[in-house]
Structure 1
Amino acid sequence: MRTDPRTLRTCLSRFATGVTVVTCEGDSAAHGATVNSFTAVSLEPPLVLVSLDRNTKACKYLDGKPFTINVLREPQQDLALHFAGKPMAEEPEWEHPGGDLAPRLAGALATIACAPWRSYDGGDHVLYLGEIREIDFDDGDPLVFYAGKFRHLGKAVGTVPWLESGDCPSLSWFPAG
């Protein structure tokens, strides 16, 4: 049975995500794409993954090149829309850290600068793994996306459940493999 793409997209939108902009250098200019398909992969080595539609300009610029994941703050909806194809009146403010690091957006809640690690075929997307080279983060609330709309993060509830779990490998009593 084939799943209708629109129905699948609606179903997947029920998973709340943060909003990121993946930035890179291409044709001697900074580029970016709004992405909510971003995840941590490994702590050792430090790896993250981002999934980009094959048809985006940023996708062709990322192949084998450094990139930065910019986690957007709650009031940065305009930036998210800008890099999703609805340009803002003013050009976004860029920071260029130099060396082999990709450009990043000024004022992001967090930035994760990556060297290319691997890329994989993901159907109509390409999965890019990056090895983290530099991080920067600040306090504040993230921009959240759920059911096709930007949202505000609600109040925190409870504690971090996995820290109290018998499956947490960082607990001192956890038996070695």
Structure 2
Amino acid sequence: MDDRTFRNAMGKFVTGVTVITTGAGEEVHGMTANAFLSVSLNPRLVLISIGEKAKMLDKIKESGRYAVSFLAADQQETSMLFAGQIKDGRTLDFEWFDRMPVIKGALGHLTCRVVSEHVVGDHTLFVGEVSDIQLNEGEPLIYFQGKYRELASINEQRLSS
């Protein structure tokens, strides 16, 4: 199989959209990622996957911590900014939670301490122990077949049935 076929197959899996952030020295760094998953309830562990060419890789190794912000349906532009799809020089003001930078208006934030890292293929998997959680109300931004999507509300689904 070729790379395009593999990418198309992975695009069939609906994912939420996150922004991973960390502070390294005086600087804040962030990147959009959908490679995030829950690993364990006890201890509370999550995993992120960072490509070997991403600047974020060295920043997380340096800081030993990261935060995950679950983006809300109205935060597509934020996702695009941290994915490098918007390059007009704009910046984003961060909120601070548990001494970590997080995205304002996100559905939730996790702060994590790296407990292990594993190089697998062209990515590094960072397992993080969750140190704090903050939750907000709203609908998620989701990604499917290379496009941003929104969930249909329950009321809309009932009306169309």
Q: Do Structure 1 and Structure 2 share a fold, with TM-score over 0.5?
A: yes
Structure 1 partner of 2:91:
91
- Bigger CA drift: 81-90 or 124-133? 81-90
Higher strand proportion (structure 1 or 2) = 2
1:7 is the counterpart of 2:10: no
Larger Cα Rg: Structure 1 or Structure 2? Answer: 1
Structural mapping, 1:117-156, within 5 Å = 117-155=115-153
Tell me how many residue pairs correspond in the alignment: 153
Structure 2 partner of 1:169:
none
Contact 1:52 1:126 in 2 (8 A): yes
Aligned-residue identity in percent: 33
Structural mapping, 1:98-109, within 5 Å = 101-109=99-107
- How far residue 26 of structure 1 moved from its aligned partner, in angstroms, is 2.3
AA of the residue aligned to 2:104:
A
- How far residue 83 of structure 1 moved from its aligned partner, in angstroms, is 0.6
In structure 1, stretches of 5+ residues that fail to align are 158-177
1:69 is the counterpart of 2:72: no
Structure 2 partner of 1:162:
none
- How far residue 89 of structure 1 moved from its aligned partner, in angstroms, is 5.5
Contact 1:34 1:80 in 2 (8 A): yes
The one-character-per-residue Cα deviations of 1:8-47 (angstroms, maximum 9, x if unpaired) are: 0111000000000000012421111100010000000000
- Shift in CA distance, 88/136, structure 1 to aligned 2, threshold 3 Å: farther
The one-character-per-residue Cα deviations of 1:76-95 (angstroms, maximum 9, x if unpaired) are: 01110111012466311202
Structure 1 partner of 2:57:
59
AA of the residue aligned to 1:91:
T
> Normalising to structure 1: TM-score of the pair?
0.81
- How far residue 65 of structure 1 moved from its aligned partner, in angstroms, is 1.2
Q: In 1, Cα distance between the equivalents of 2:152 and 2:126?
A: 30
Q: In 2, Cα distance between the equivalents of 1:91 and 1:38?
A: 24
Contact 1:73 1:108 in 2 (8 A): yes
RMSD between aligned residues: 1.6
Greater relative contact order (CA < 8 Å, ≥ 6 in sequence) = 2
Q: In 2, Cα distance between the equivalents of 1:136 and 1:88?
A: 31
- Bigger CA drift: 12-21 or 25-34? 25-34
Q: In 2, Cα distance between the equivalents of 1:21 and 1:103?
A: 10
Misfit runs of 4+, over 4 Å: none
Query: Aligned with 1:6: secondary structure?
Result: helix
The one-character-per-residue Cα deviations of 1:148-168 (angstroms, maximum 9, x if unpaired) are: 0000112458xxxxxxxxxxx
Q: In 2, Cα distance between the equivalents of 1:46 and 1:88?
A: 38
